Amino acid sequence: MSEFWQRFVVAGVVIALTLVLARIVDRVIGGRFEARPAEWTRYRVVRRSAVAVILVVGTLSALLVIPGVRTVAGTVLASSAVIALIVGFAAQATLSNFVAGLFLAFTQPLRLGDRVEIGAASGVVEEIGLTYTLIRADDGARFFVPNTKLASDTIRNETSTGTPAAPSGDVSSG
């Protein structure tokens, strides 16, 4: 077997192991939150983040088997501070939405199925993603609210943790 095919097989095995590990972590995290529906929102964000990190690290590990990529990776690692600075400035809005999404997942001022009002957007929370939250209005319209807005604005949650809708149910996450 040629050296090219050996490296190709090794990279394939690393990617396969990465996928298996991602699946195992997904099931372990799922098992911890399956019995507690109140924590499904947190589970979804933690699950997505963990699987994304595993897939990125696994893919990079598989690519390092290839000598040409290894050389480039060494150069990239040597200049990683400059690259991190550039990426940080370029992706500032995305990164702040991601961090706000993690914040929302752990503090849980809103959960899936809650009826909320955030500025002009009001309706039922359908999805809380890593960068935005989807709110379905009563007329069927969909609001895609950036997580930084949720983390910095006042959220009126009418169905928070089973308490009746009242002024005390308002949650300020700023």
CB 66 within 8 A of CB 11: yes
In a domain, 70, yes or no: yes
Domain CATH number, residue 114: 2.30.30.60
What is the model's pLDDT at position 35? 56
Q: Are residues 63 and 125 in the same domain?
A: no
Task: Examine residue 72 and state whether it is found in any structural domain, yes or no.
Answer: yes
pLDDT digits (tens, 9 = 90+) for 27-43: 887 766 665 566 666 67
Number of domains in the chain: 2
Q: The domain containing residue 19 runs over which residues?
A: 3-78
Report the range of poorest mean pLDDT among 14-18, 65-69, 91-95, 160-164: 160-164
Residues 111 and 62 occupy one common structural domain: no
Q: Is residue 165 part of a domain?
A: yes
Min mean pLDDT across 78-87, 134-143, 156-165 is at 156-165
